[in-house]
Amino acid sequence: MIQALRTRRGLVVIALAALAIALPLLTQAFDQRYLLSIGTRVVIWSIAAASLNLILGYGGMVSFGHAVFFGIGGYAVGILGHHGVVLGWVQWPVGVLAAALWAAAIGALSLRTRGVYFIMITLAFSQLVYYVGVGLEAYGADDGLNISRSRFPGLIDLRDRAAFYWLCLALLGLVLWFSARFANSHFGFVLRGAKSNDVRMASLGFPVFRYRLAAFTISGALGGLSGVLLANHDAYISPAMMSWVKSGDLIVIVVLGGMGTVFGPVWGTVAFFVLEESLKPVIDLFRKGWGEYWQIVFGPILILIALYAKGGIDSLLGGRRDGGGGHG
């Protein structure tokens, strides 16, 4: 704690964490419930981005289908709930496990390929699940399904927006703590080594494929967790939650925040949502009614980020790049 105060990053993290913890009280005081909903989404998307960061940021695996885990986690909650299994103690582990199993299966196939082929095969597998969702007439097909939130009797009521927010925030804290441990572990170092030169790592005797598959599976499981949370936040599931555009958004977030950094996914998510929510009113200032066309500005911003912003937001915070976490 004291040590964290010495770096700019540490100060920002502590200030933001304090703000994040106080958010439900603030939104209640100022009667801005919409803001709490956005805050919850930011936290959930941060978990998803952090899970993608494990493989994309640290492992250099450009997975273009990560939103599929939103879908798997979400549909696990929705489908179980639809059949009367409403206990969160059942729904949540099933969601996370299903995501982990699917990640292990597609990872075992996808990781045989390299480069562009890997990008495309992960995209294809996520489209596959997307179309399974579209084809499930019993669970709403394209229109999706309204679901009831998971029940944790005697422990927490997820319909309480503030309590649910704090639960998500606590889980995000755990995921970030795990990322930091992960990055600096033996496992993380092998993965980062393989990112910069997998032939060398293999020559050194590391079973690179197995390390990558394990990372892919862990990443999928955490992605599934974010899907479970997202379904509980929206009380609604639909194939749109795993559309390929969402996968693209997740990549954007990870790169924007800073790949292979512990807090990068959080910065990226915050920036992404702030951009989305603020571009509309800002454009409206210049020309009334044009705010709905915010993506015409957002698109070129992405191009500029891709071309010029190598280190992401996290690098702006300076300090020791390896403090607390690693970088790829």
Q: Rounded to the nearest whole angstrom, what is the least distance from the CB of residue 246 to other proteins in the complex?
A: 12
**How far is the C-alpha of 245 from the C-alpha of 250, rounded, in Å?**
9
115 binds other proteins (CB under 8 A): yes
Residue closer to other proteins (CB basis): 92 or 294: 294
Q: Rounded to the nearest whole angstrom, what is the least distance from the CB of residue 5 to other proteins in the complex?
A: 34
271 binds other proteins (CB under 8 A): no
Do 250 and 140 contact (CB within 8 A), yes or no? no
- Residue whose entry in the numeric block shows the structure tokens 């309204």: 146
299 binds other proteins (CB under 8 A): yes
Q: Which stretch binds other proteins (CB under 8 A): 181-189, 198-206, 267-275, 304-312?
A: 304-312
Q: Which stretch binds other proteins (CB under 8 A): 30-38, 70-78, 190-198, 289-297?
A: 289-297
Return the DSSP state at 155.
T
Segments of the chain assigned E as strands: 145-146, 236-237
Interface residue with other proteins, options 15, 18, 25, 117 (CB under 8 A): 117
DSSP string across 225-245: HHHHHHHHHHTEE-GGGG-HH
Interface residue with other proteins, options 14, 19, 26, 109 (CB under 8 A): 109
**How far is the C-alpha of 194 from the C-alpha of 212, rounded, in Å?**
9
Question: What sign does the dihedral 165-97-247-142 (CA atoms) show?
Answer: negative
296 binds other proteins (CB under 8 A): yes
Q: Rounded to the nearest whole angstrom, what is the least distance from the CB of residue 133 to other proteins in the complex?
A: 8
Q: Rounded to the nearest whole angstrom, what is the least distance from the CB of residue 110 to other proteins in the complex?
A: 8
Binding mask 30-69 for other proteins (x = CB under 8 A): --------------------------x-----x-x-----
Do 253 and 66 contact (CB within 8 A), yes or no? no
How much of the chain is in helix, strand and coil states, percent to nearest 5?
75, 0, 25
Interface residue with other proteins, options 205, 289, 307, 320 (CB under 8 A): 307
Per-residue 3-state assignment (H helix, E strand, C coil) for 60-74: CCCCCCCCHHHHHHH
196 binds other proteins (CB under 8 A): no
Q: What angle do CA 19, 277, 39 make, to 5 degrees?
A: 35
Interface residue with other proteins, options 306, 316, 318, 322 (CB under 8 A): 306
Rg (CA), the chain: 20
273 binds other proteins (CB under 8 A): no
103 binds other proteins (CB under 8 A): no
298 binds other proteins (CB under 8 A): yes
Q: With CB under 8 A, what is the number of residues at the site for other proteins? A: 45
251 binds other proteins (CB under 8 A): yes
- Interface of this chain with other proteins, residues 205 to 234, rule: CB under 8 A: none
72 binds other proteins (CB under 8 A): no
**How far is the C-alpha of 309 from the C-alpha of 104, rounded, in Å?**
32
Residue closer to other proteins (CB basis): 287 or 320: 287
- Residue whose entry in the numeric block shows the structure tokens 């996520």: 126
Structure token digits, residue 163: 């309590």
Count CB atoms within 10 A of the CB of residue 113. Answer: 13
Contact residues for other proteins (CB under 8 A)?
56, 62, 64, 109, 112-117, 119-121, 123-125, 127-128, 131-132, 134-138, 141, 244-245, 248, 251-252, 255, 293-296, 298-303, 305-307
